[in-house]
Chains A and B, each alone.
Chain A
Amino acid sequence: AQSVAQPEDQVNVAEGNPLTVKCTYSVSGNPYLFWYVQYPNRGLQFLLKYITGDNLVKGSYGFEAEFNKSQTSFHLKKPSALVSDSALYFCAVRGGGGFKTIFGAGTRLFVKA
């Protein structure tokens, strides 16, 4: 069965510092991995995805994510956090030939000025 784990409910980081939001997954076959962000009282917005190829994927707003097959991880990163990055982040996976996308429980990111 497919699953996604976001081990941290909340991540706190100071503005200007690098940030990492962790995600691990379990899926049969090749994974298709996604990150979404949700700002307060808004729907989810697509940030980036890994389909195949280069393990480092770049996305919107300066975010990037690294696919690590051996560790079954897809951590979201940004070199320098902004206060405006404060939001709820969801990791998601599709795979195994199914139509469903499985979402993690979400990680709330707080960036302090």
Chain B
Amino acid sequence: DVKVTQSSRYLVKRTGEKVFLECVQDMDHENMFWYRQDPGLGLRLIYFSYDVKMKEKGDIPEGYSVSREKKERFSLILESASTNQTSMYLCASSLGPGQQYEQYFGPGTRLTVT
């Protein structure tokens, strides 16, 4: 089974702090994704990576950056956390670039910014 792990389940940070969310997948998947999940809004794509050191902006990249130095690891960085970034963050991976591939999700990190 594919396993996607995220570094923290719950995180509380202060406004202005730099926040790192880490994601690791163990199935050699090419594609990795970061989403945020908010009630009534579903999942919104923040960033997508289709290869090491490659990234694409999603629908809501403002205030975020990402890093993918190794194939199995995809990090989401909040440069200066703000209260409107309080949310559930989900990492996912998929086997290849084709549209037919489903995504495998980590358990999520619930981030609270105070």
Which positions in A face B, CB cutoff 8 Å? 4, 9, 32, 34, 36, 41-46, 49, 51, 90, 94-95, 97-101, 103-106
Task: Give min CB distance, A100 to chain B, whole Å.
Answer: 6
User: With a CB–CB cut-off of 8 A, which chain B residues contact A41?
Assistant: 107-108
Task: Give min CB distance, A10 to chain B, whole Å.
Answer: 12
User: With a CB–CB cut-off of 8 A, which chain B residues contact A46?
Assistant: 102-104
Is B42 a contact partner of A43 (Cβ separation < 8 A)?
no
Interface pick from B12-20, B43-51, B65-73, B78-86 = B43-51
Which positions in B face A, CB cutoff 8 Å? 4, 31, 35, 40-45, 48, 50, 56, 58-59, 90, 92, 97, 99-100, 102-108
Query: Given B45, B92, B106, B107, which contacts A100 in the complex, CB threshold below 8 Å?
Result: B45
Smallest Cβ-Cβ distance to A90: which chain B residue = B42
Could you pull out 8 A-B pairs where Cβ atoms are within 8 angstroms? A42-B108, A51-B100, A97-B99, A99-B48, A99-B99, A103-B43, A105-B41, A106-B42
Q: Which of A36, A99, A106 has the most CB of B within 10 A?
A: A99
* A34-B48 contact given A43-B4, A106-B42, CB 8 Å threshold: no
